[in-house]
Amino acid sequence: MISGIVTVVSNQRSVMILKKNCENREMMKSNFNLMKEIETDQSKEIPQPPLQKPFDGNVDRIKLPEFGEEIILDNNLLHCLKKRRSHRKFKDESLSLKELSFLLWSTQGIDEIRGDNYATIRPVPSAGARHPFETYLLINNIDGLEKGIYRYLPLTHELLFLFTNDEMVKKVEKITFRQKFVATAPVLFIWSCIPYRGEWRYSIASHKAMLLDAGHVCQNLYIASEAIGSGTCAIAAYDQEAIDKLIEVDGEEEFVVYMSPVGKV
Ligand SMILES: Cc1cc2nc3c(=O)[nH]c(=O)nc-3n(C[C@H](O)[C@H](O)[C@H](O)COP(=O)(O)O)c2cc1C
C-alpha cells in the first residue's frame, strides 16, 4: 500500500483513487532521461505555438500605464522577504491601475523577445523559456476599470476586457469552496496553462516543469504585492471544471492551474 492514502481498497472507486495517487506521484518525477528517445514537435520542425493566446483584434484593449518608484512603499528586498505571508483579509480599498500594471509585469511581463518570436524573457524563469501561462483577472476594485473578467496581453502590456456579469463573485466563491476572500478581493489573478507550449519542446518532460514554473509566477506576486503595501494568497483549492467554464477555456488545450487574490493589507 502506498503511504499517504487512508483508504481501504475495497471497491472500484478506492482502486481508482489509489491508481490516480500513483500516477500523480509519477508526474512529480523528472522525465528528462526519456528525451533522447522522444521525437518532439520541435525536433520535427513543426512551427511553435504563439507566445500569447490569439485574440479578436476588434475588441477594445486597455493600455496599462508605466509605473515607477512612486508606487513602491518598501523597496528593501530583505523587508519584503521577511514580511511575506499569505493574506486572507484585505482592506476595503482599491488598487490603482499603476499598481496592477506593476503586478502584471512582475508576474508575466515581457522584457525581451529572443529570435524570431522564439522565446520571451520575463521577470520569472520558465523551463526552456516556454512560459506556458495566460493571466486572467477577476477585477472587483481597480481604479478606472469596470468590474469583470479580463485577460492580460503581455506582448503589448495591455488588458483585454472579456465580459462581466452579476454572478461572477458568487460563482468564484463556490468554485473555491467558499473561500470568500478569494472572490471578493480587489483583483484575483487566475493563471491558465496552455500545455502544448511546453509539450512542443519537451513532450512528456514538460508537465512537471510547467507546474514548477507556476510557482515562480505566484512567488513574484507575493513579493511584488508586499512592496506596494498589499498581500496575496496562493490558491490551489478550486473546482477545475467550474473555473475553466467561468473563464471560457476548454479544459484540455487550456485550463486553470493556480490563482491568487490581491488586496491592500
Ligand atoms: C501551492 C499552494 C496552494 C495553496 N492553496 C491555498 C488555498 O487554496 N487556500 C488558502 O487559504 N491557502 C492556500 N495556500 C497558502 C498556504 O496555506 C500558506 O502558504 C501556508 O499556510 C503558509 O503560510 P504563509 O504563506 O503565510 O507562510 C496555498 C499555498 C501554496 C504554495
Domain map (residue ranges) of the chain: 61-264
Task: Tell me what pLDDT residue 2 has.
Answer: 64
Of the candidates 233, 189, 216, 215, the one whose C-alpha atom is nearest the C-alpha of residue 99 is 189
Please tell me the distance between residue 235's alpha carbon and the centre of ligand 1 in angstroms: 6
Dist. CA 172–CA 88, nearest whole Å: 15
Stretches in the chain below the pLDDT threshold 50: none
DSSP H stretches of helix in the chain? 12-27, 77-83, 97-108, 168-175, 180-184, 196-202, 206-227, 240-246
Residue 221 near residue 232, CB atoms below 8 Å = yes
Distance between CA 206 and CA 184 in Å, rounded? Answer: 34
The protein residue whose alpha carbon is closest to atom 22 in ligand 1 is 86
Give me 51's grid cell.
507566445
| 86 close to ligand 1 (CB < 6 Angstrom) | yes
pLDDT of residue 173: 98
Residue type, 211: L
Would the CB of 180 count as within 6 Å of ligand 1? Answer: no
- Best mutation site among 84, 86, 243 for ligand 1 pocket (most ligand atoms within 8 Å of CB): 86
Q: What is the pLDDT of residue 110?
A: 98
Sign of CA dihedral 209, 211, 217, 220: negative
The predicted-structure confidence for 46-69, as pLDDT tens digits, reads as follows 999 999 999 999 988 999 999 999
Give dist(CA 102, CA 95) in Å, integer.
11
CB 194 within 8 A of CB 206: no
The pLDDT value recorded for residue 15 is: 87
Query: How many Cβ atoms are within 10 Å of 21's Cβ, its own excluded?
Result: 15
**Closest residue by CA, ligand 1 atom 6:** 235
| CA 82 and chain centroid, separation | 24
**φ, ψ for residue 154, nearest 5 deg:** -65, -25
The Cα–Cα gap between 91 and 105 comes to 23
The alpha carbon of 57 and the centre of ligand 1 are apart by a number of angstroms equal to 37
**185 touches ligand 1 (CB under 6 Å):** no
Q: Is the CB of 156 under 6 A from ligand 1?
A: no
What per-residue confidence (pLDDT) applies to 12? Answer: 83
Question: Would you put residue 18 in left (φ > 0), alpha (ψ -120 to 50) or beta?
Answer: alpha
For ligand 1, atom 15, which residue shows the shortest CA distance? Answer: 234
pLDDT score at 60: 87
Query: Quick one: pLDDT at residue 1?
Result: 58
Q: Ligand 1: does its nearest atom lie under 6 Å from the Cβ of 211?
A: no
Looking at domain 61-264, what is its CATH homologous superfamily?
NADH Oxidase (3.40.109.10)
C-alpha closest to that of 229 among 64, 65, 102, 66 = 102
Q: What pLDDT is stored for residue 157 in this prediction?
A: 98
Count of CA atoms in the C-beta half-sphere (13 A) of 98: 8
Ramachandran class of 22: left when φ > 0, alpha when ψ lies in -120 to 50, beta otherwise:
alpha
Residue nearest to atom 17 of ligand 1 (CA): 86
Q: What is the pTM of this model?
A: 0.96
Q: What is the pLDDT of residue 99?
A: 98
d(CA 254, CA 248): 10
Contact 197/129 with Cβ under 8 angstroms?
no
Long-range contacts of 42-47 (CB under 8 A, 24+ apart): 42/200, 42/201, 46/200
Atom from ligand 1 closest to the CA of residue 237: 8
